Chain A
Amino acid sequence: MDSTAVAQTGTEGKNWGGGNQPLKASYGKLMMWFFITSDALTFSGFLAAYGFTRFKFIEEWPIADEVFNHFPFLHGVDAPMYYVALMTFILIFSSVTMVLAVDAGHQMNKSKVTFYMALTILGGAIFLGSQAWEWKNFIQGEYGAVETKSGKILQFVDNDGKRVAIQDFAPRHESYRQQHTGDKGAWYVSESNLPEYHIDDVKEAFKSNDNLLVRTMQLNEEKEKTILSREESMKYLEERGVDLIFGANLSKNEYGAPLFGGFFFFITGFHGFHVFSGVVLLIITFFNVLIGTYEKRGHYEMVEKVGLYWHFVDLVWVFVFTFFYLV
């Protein structure tokens, strides 16, 4: 019997002596916390990469207030930040209803859990819709810009420094050919829409329009974009302009540094994907609450675990809000 004896350390009753649960949390909750920790590091990696790129192009990064300045039903009104602030509130409030649901779960109050979880799902769905609208505005763009030989961006302003859209001063491009669609030529060949505007027309229109100036990506000492003089504007546009950009995609955008668009899509997209999976988890749990699964189980710990994930999504948004829209 001696050979199987285990050395006694005299710490058996203590927290880390073995034989008890020092973290005093169930397996499921513990694993959710570890998942959240690793996911937090993933998001930090993305945001730190965003910071890296921004520091690399610190003197020409787009100004968030100028990019995200739309609000529903306020067309053409410059409303920086209000919309994201609203989205932040929606998400924080859905966090509140979530924690109220968890709280009701502790009291085994099924109807209250149901009610608060429904509100949380609603909040998550509204947030996702808002994000879709935000993406739509970002992708569509508003003013358009000229791309230079070196891949930089030139934007247009009037004499007062107010942004001018390319569509407002340049004529539509009269193409010498029509769009090739399947029914007009070889049926197996087609092409995307012909560009509506052309860089040569923009250059011509700019020359004949005296109150237009060019704005570069460069930030000046006032932390605003540099506006060139009329002569310099002409020279810049004539010598450097090679193409037009409307809106944003993964490789170019009319707001400035191409990577700005990439990071916007990737980080808000990855966060949106988290919100989406959160809503799916919430819906599954919601129906389980309805059919009384947790009532029978005797505790609502599943609501608590999904709640942890949901709060984490809110937590990440707080940081995305700061680093994308405020700083």
Chain B
Amino acid sequence: MAHDAAHHEGSTKRIWSVFLILSILTIVEVILGILRLDVLVFTEIVSMSLQNWIFIILTIYKAYYITWAFMHMEHESAGLRRTVVWTGVFLICYLITILLVEGGYIHDVYVNGYMTWDF
């Protein structure tokens, strides 16, 4: 029983600390989004601005905390964890790569293949 109480205290503490992390990350995102610093907006890394990279990485970091701490993924067995996470991650990476490359290609066709689309 004493052990249970200690475990419980730890898990409540973890919930609040994760909430704090998620809040801070969201506030950072909003501040960056409002400031739109030139350094971040106009620095291109792999055909995307540094600003957008920061947003996406912070988002994935938040997603990690929500899944691991709130959905208790950290306490599940490795098999369940891999079944859910690897499936999602691989398929989503594939989907995004294909669709974004294709979207960029169609953009090029619109721009280079026709006199104008704006008349």
A and B assemble together: yes
Q: Would you list which residues of chain A between 18 and 54 have a CB under 8 Å from chain B?
A: 22-25, 30, 33-34, 36-37, 40-41, 44-45, 48-49, 51-54
- Chain A residues with CB under 8 Å of B84's CB are 33-34, 36-37
Q: Would you list which residues of chain B between 8 and 29 have a CB under 8 Å from chain A?
A: 8, 11-12, 15-16, 19, 22-23, 26-27, 29
Q: Would you list which residues of chain A between 58 and 99 have a CB under 8 Å from chain B?
A: 58-59, 65, 80-82, 85, 88-89, 92-93, 95-96, 98-99
Q: How far is the CB of B100 from chain A (nearest CB, A)?
A: 5
Check A41–B103 contact: CB distance below 8 A. no
**Could you tell me the distance between the alpha carbons of A187 and B88 in the complex, rounded to whole angstroms?**
57
Check A81–B30 contact: CB distance below 8 A. yes
Interface residue range, chain B: 35 or more
Spot the interface stretch: A2-10, A135-143, A309-317.
A309-317
Check B56–A55 contact: CB distance below 8 A. no
- Chain B residues with CB under 8 Å of A152's CB are 118
- Chain B residues with CB under 8 Å of A312's CB are 71
Q: How far is the CB of A325 from chain B (nearest CB, A)?
A: 7
Check B55–A322 contact: CB distance below 8 A. yes
**Could you tell me the distance between the alpha carbons of A92 and B70 in the complex, rounded to whole angstroms?**
10
Main SS of chain A's interface residues? helix
**Could you tell me the distance between the alpha carbons of A54 and B103 in the complex, rounded to whole angstroms?**
8
Q: How many residues of A contact B (CB 8 A)?
A: 64
Check: B67 CB closer than 8 A to any chain A CB: yes
Check A24–B19 contact: CB distance below 8 A. no
The 4 closest A-B pairs by CB, nearest first: A55-B103, A52-B103, A52-B99, A322-B59
Given contacts A23-B80, A82-B30, 16 further A-B contacts (CB under 8 A): A25-B76, A40-B88, A40-B92, A48-B92, A48-B96, A55-B103, A92-B26, A96-B15, A100-B15, A102-B72, A107-B8, A148-B118, A307-B71, A314-B70, A319-B63, A327-B55
Please list the residues of chain A having a beta carbon within 8 angstroms of any beta carbon in chain B: 15, 22-25, 30, 33-34, 36-37, 40-41, 44-45, 48-49, 51-59, 65, 80-82, 85, 88-89, 92-93, 95-96, 98-100, 102-103, 106-107, 148-150, 152, 216, 218, 223, 240, 307-308, 311-312, 314-315, 318-319, 321-322, 325-327
| 5 interchain pairs, CB-CB under 8 A | A55-B103, A103-B8, A216-B118, A315-B66, A325-B33
